[in-house]
Amino acid sequence: MISMNWVKDYVDTKNIDLKVLADKITKTGINIEKVESKNIDNLVIGHVLEVSAHPDSDHLNVCKVDVGSEITQIVCGASNVRKDLKVIVALPGAILPGNFEIKKSKIRGVESNGMICALFELGLEEKTEETYNKGIHELDSNAPVGENPIKYLGLDDTIYTLDLNPNRFDCNNHIPFAYEVAAVLNTKVTLPSIDTKPVKDNIKDHFEIKVDTENCTMYNAKMVTNVKVGPSPEFIKQRLESAGMRSINNVVDISNYVMLEYGQPLHFFDKDRLGDKILVRMAHDDEKVITLDNKERELNSDDIVITDGDKIVCIAGVMGGLNTEVEEDTKNILIESAIFNPYNVRYTSIKLDLRSEASLRYEKGLNYEYCNLAIERACHLLEKYAGGTVLEGTLTHDTTIKKEKIVEVTLDEINLMLGMKLNSNDVTSSLDSLGFLYKIDKDKFIVTIPNRRVDVEENKADIIEEVGRIYGYDNIKATLPVVRTKKGEYAPKTKFRKDISKRLRALGFNEIRTYTLISEEENNMFRYNFNDEIKLLRPMNIDKSIVRQSLLSSMLKMIEYNISRKNNDVMLYEIANTYDNSYEEDTKISFGLTGNYISNSWNKSNIQVDYYLVKGLVENILDYLGLTNRYTFKLSDNLPKEIHPKVNSEIIIDNEAVGYFGKIHPSTSKNNIYVCEISLNKLYSKKVRAIKFKELNKYPTINKDLSFIVDENITSEDITKVIKKAGGRLLTNINVFDLYKGDNIAKDKKSLAFNLTFEDYNKTLTEEEVNVVFNKIISEVETKLKAELRDK
């Protein structure tokens, strides 16, 4: 959050409307999400002229208040209300935080035309027991009656809430943000004062620092003595609060204040408790420290620590140690302003779950200029607001790279990448307002990237982006890349999947999308020749901890859900990728269905979902893929335990099992649900021929029916196999048209009736020719399957 009153210390906003300014800044890529004015309408400074006790209450008072335009009567419950006090009055129409509108009212029968306010009621202070007990806010006696009290208090601030891109988190700080304001308004930034009056006593005579790790590239230390810890001045309190931080005391507040100015976190040690030495090093494995929050932390060799030469006094960039904390009685302070390896700070703060305003800033990377300025600024403020005495000199360890980042870029390169037509002046004006120094060498701009902009890298694209965003992307015309003459295509496997998907829809299935991550329990369902599963390293919860191998547990859940919602006819499919611990991807086709395939609510033309319907659907898909005559279905007792052992089929193509379908096992679901799961990868691996037209037979066909009585355990397929073999070339189709059990047939027998089609593509068949084959079929079936011809 950015306080615009604060920003105005560094840049002249020329009275521009702050909402308009926010829009302009947002357009340059610094997103301002919310513009909030602390002002409230219908607030005035009032003068209490008279106070009398409420006739019907022992704690309310009836006050006559001069609000400038009139003298009005207000009932007030605060104990500190008294004659001659200057107060903040919310008149009828004022809307206080929490959407609380002030209206004329009667309080226990007495008219009240407004409210005398405390600061917390106006959202200008946090509501605590302390602020509550203070009662109404007492203005000084010079406060002008009838004027705006918020303005009078200097609280008429406008707060920007930012939603920054991760490369520009520096703009959460007021000075870097001021540079963005300056860029938009084409003006300059004035940095705050860092002047001090150091005493002739050098820190070098009192203290030494040593850095023993390359993960600390800069370490500055200064000493301030004789500080007086006390409350902060009002403006510091207010500004910290608008930025979302609580005021603690002047010394701690100054460290935060400077951080919110430059973005450089500081650490203040109690010098007397610290000793006379600092050593920065990596922690030892299992080394322990008690941090400010009074918790013991265990460290390892990836954590940077500040020590007094021996014991840890601070976890670098993350949190100070309890042993050297600044307290009420602290007199002498050692200030640290340092740059640590962002990766280490990030690692440590995440590991210890101690991400703070400071650690976030270290993580994003800091610049040495501000590191140097911030420590001076802190001294300035401690001298001014904490009565401290600054010692001469700064102890410094500095291995930062000072090489300037310089980029050469031409106007043509800028215009080519942006697709704009900028001229030289447009570019220099953008660079000027950004505060980037540059030289012009013929057609080249030689740009020096300021040290404060750690996000801008040393390449042309970065400079072009800066110029572009300040000049304005609204100026980009729409063009199109030169058209490629070829139309785009789906990757072959994608096309294959899409085609199957469309076929499934044509067959009546609705597509669903379910989660890839499932629970262990779900992953234990519908396991079908699976390898081990992939488990997440750090799942969010156990319900979503495993990368699924089958889509059917989700499918079943979805169907049951719909049944419970009285959607009785449900057909769903999903095609999604599954994985196992070899990281091999397999795309699975799954579908599930229940209820009626075709339904009519009032006549009896329903077609109910059953095994044979599902079999037909599977055949339809396989035929669609050109696999006719290459697949067989086999009842299997090796399918997942959720599948009915007697009502299922494994799908075999070219002797390879590619999936299965079947009824859900009654102990898994009481409902009549069928599911199917097929490996798309396996289907995709099958080579299929292109469509070739085949002439229809010119010669007539001859159809013959026959039925056999066979043992009940003989399957339809057993019989058709024998028929097919005996039928030879002339038999072109076998169709089962009746299954009969019951009267006239022995108990353990059944009758199956077939319709056979005979044809010859070369001539008209004679009845005699067919009869030879037909009789052969009958005798083969009779002898091989102990069948009895029932009818022909």
Partner 1 sequence: MNKIEEIKKLIDEKMKGVNSLQELNELKVEFLGKKGLITEVNSMIRDIPNEEKKEFGMKVNEVRSLFNTKYEEIKEKLEEEKINKQLEADAIDVTLPSTKVSVGAPHSLEKLIEELEELLMSMGYDVVEGPEVEKDLYNFELLNLPKGHPARDAQDTFYIKDEEMLLRSQTSPVQVRTMLANEEKSPIRIICPGKTYRRDDDDATHSHQFTQMEGLLIDKDISLSDLKGTFDIIAKHLFGEKRETRFRPSFYPFTEPSVELDISCFNCEGKGCNICKGTGWITVGGAGMVHPKVLSNCGYDPKIHSGFAFGFGIERLAMLKYGITDIRTFYTPQDIRILEQFNRRDVL
Site for partner 1 in 318-357 (CB under 8 A): 342-343, 346-347
Cα torsion through 593, 599, 605, 606, rounded to 10: 30
Contact call for residue 536 and partner 1 (CB under 8 A): yes
- CB nearer to partner 1: give 329 or 412: 412
Contact call for residue 565 and partner 1 (CB under 8 A): yes
Looking from the CA of 211 toward its CB, the CA atoms found within 13 Å total: 20
**Which of these segments, 52-60, 167-175, 232-240, 716-724, binds partner 1 (CB under 8 A)?**
167-175
Asked if residues 594 and 570 have their Cβ atoms less than 8 Å apart, the reply is yes
Shortest Å distance, C-beta 498 to partner 1: 8
Asked if residues 551 and 574 have their Cβ atoms less than 8 Å apart, the reply is yes
Hey, which residues between 398 and 437 contact partner 1 (CB under 8 A)? Answer: 416-420
Contact call for residue 504 and partner 1 (CB under 8 A): yes
Asked if residues 391 and 202 have their Cβ atoms less than 8 Å apart, the reply is yes
- CB nearer to partner 1: give 117 or 407: 407
- C-alpha 503/C-alpha 499 separation (Å) is 6
- CB nearer to partner 1: give 10 or 597: 597
Structure tokens at 83: 């004659």
Shortest Å distance, C-beta 612 to partner 1: 18
Chosen residue from 396, 577, 681, 757 binding partner 1 by CB under 8 A: 577
Shortest Å distance, C-beta 77 to partner 1: 38
Shortest Å distance, C-beta 24 to partner 1: 12
- C-alpha 144/C-alpha 679 separation (Å) is 82
Contact call for residue 461 and partner 1 (CB under 8 A): yes
- C-alpha 398/C-alpha 357 separation (Å) is 24
Shortest Å distance, C-beta 729 to partner 1: 39
State the number of binding residues for partner 1 (CB under 8 A): 100
Shortest Å distance, C-beta 364 to partner 1: 6
- C-alpha 153/C-alpha 150 separation (Å) is 5
Chosen residue from 99, 583, 667, 690 binding partner 1 by CB under 8 A: 583
Q: Which long-range contacts (CB under 8 A, 24 or more apart) does 527-532 make?
A: 527/640, 528/639, 528/640, 528/659, 528/660, 528/677, 529/657, 530/580, 531/580, 531/581, 531/582, 532/580, 532/581
Chosen residue from 214, 353, 474, 768 binding partner 1 by CB under 8 A: 474
Strand partners, 440: 445
**Which of these segments, 219-227, 246-254, 574-582, 714-722, binds partner 1 (CB under 8 A)?**
574-582
**Which of these segments, 84-92, 195-203, 474-482, 750-758, binds partner 1 (CB under 8 A)?**
474-482
Hey, which residues between 600 and 639 contact partner 1 (CB under 8 A)? Answer: 600-603, 605
- Under DSSP, the state recorded for 15 is T
Beta strand ranges found along 212-249 (DSSP E): 216-225
Chosen residue from 401, 482, 690, 696 binding partner 1 by CB under 8 A: 482
**Which of these segments, 278-286, 309-317, 455-463, 771-779, binds partner 1 (CB under 8 A)?**
455-463
**Which of these segments, 435-443, 533-541, 661-669, 743-751, binds partner 1 (CB under 8 A)?**
533-541
Hey, which residues between 511 and 530 contact partner 1 (CB under 8 A)? Answer: 511-517
- CB nearer to partner 1: give 43 or 571: 571
Per-residue contact flags (x/-) with partner 1 for residues 226 to 265, judged by CB under 8 A: ----------------------------------------
Shortest Å distance, C-beta 387 to partner 1: 39
* Signed CA dihedral, 165, 166, 172, 175: sign only: negative
Shortest Å distance, C-beta 656 to partner 1: 23
Hey, which residues between 19 and 38 contact partner 1 (CB under 8 A)? Answer: 26-29, 31
Under the phi-then-psi rule, with left for phi > 0, alpha for psi from -120 to 50, and beta for the rest, what region is 721? Answer: alpha
Residue pointed to by tokens 């042993």: 323
Buried b (16+ CB within 10 A) or exposed e, 328-362: eebebbbbbbbbbbbebbbbbbeebebeeebbbbb
- The 3-class secondary structure across 240-264, one letter per residue, is HHHCCCCCCCHHHHHHHHHHHHHCC
- CB nearer to partner 1: give 112 or 549: 549
Contact call for residue 364 and partner 1 (CB under 8 A): yes
Indicate the angle between helix axes 234-242 and 250-262, nearest 10 degrees: 50
Contact call for residue 469 and partner 1 (CB under 8 A): yes
- CB nearer to partner 1: give 29 or 727: 29
- C-alpha 785/C-alpha 723 separation (Å) is 11
